[in-house]
Amino acid sequence: MFIAIDAGNTNIVFSVMDEETVCFASQLRTDRHKTSDEYAVFFRELLHIHSISTGDVEGGIISTVVPSLKKKLYDAVLAITGRKCRVVGPGLKNGLKIRIDNPAQLGSDRVAEGVAAINLYPAPIVIFDMGTASTFSVINRDGNYIGGMIMPGTLISLDALTERTSQLPQIDLTEHPEHLIGTNTVDCMRSGIIFGTAAMLDGIIDRIAEELGERPSVIATGSLSEAIIPYCRQKIILDKYLLLKGLRIIYLKNRR
């Protein structure tokens, strides 16, 4: 078994996997101010909760879009297991051909997702990652990562809506809209966010397909994908463990 960590801007996913399965995947809030020792305490407790001995952990791999956390997470895993982690980035074999202006600028999360996608789904491929930011990755029929898009995430848009208006309340998206046309303020906001995002995804898929000249496989992942994708009209595959699957593939490629 090995540890796989996906550190995003809002949440950190701490998981233990083997070659076939995700043993568990737990979320904790990203906190740039925590020390490596504090993270080590969290990680050790999660292993204990899931009845996994640190002695059974052979290594680890980290993907982070928060540079200040890289060393802290690395040191935390080292402290509780005595094992060094691999960190997704230059020098680590992944099998993904990145054809953008500056491949070094591609986030490790998008690299891991691209690696998983080319190994699991037919190309061309579009990946929607709906987290703090919404990222769109495009892989052509030859399996090359050719680019994508970045835009404010759904929750960022919702926060901006409530912070910059005087009478719109804070809402959550745990309740799904029953109708497109809302009949009160909260329903109107919820409908606008969910149906509006879904319609945007549908439109983006059509435009990408037009530019590629063929219909791509479309994969959605990220914390909000399960709330939005059911309202899309396009065929979209939900794969909430896509990034972790990519980390597994990269880890195994570099195991020796």
Catalytic residue numbers read 109
**Residue 98 phi/psi, 5° resolution?**
-100, 115
């926060």: which residue's tokens?
159
Count, in order, helices (H) and strands (E) of the chain. Answer: 7, 11
> Which of 171, 233, 225 lies closest to 204, judged by CA?
233
Peptide bond into 122 cis (omega under 30): no
H/E element, 85: strand 85-87
Nearest residue to 173 (alpha-carbon basis) of 148, 198, 154: 154
Q: φ, ψ for residue 30 (rounded to 5)?
A: -70, 125
* Distance, first Cα to last Cα, the chain: 15
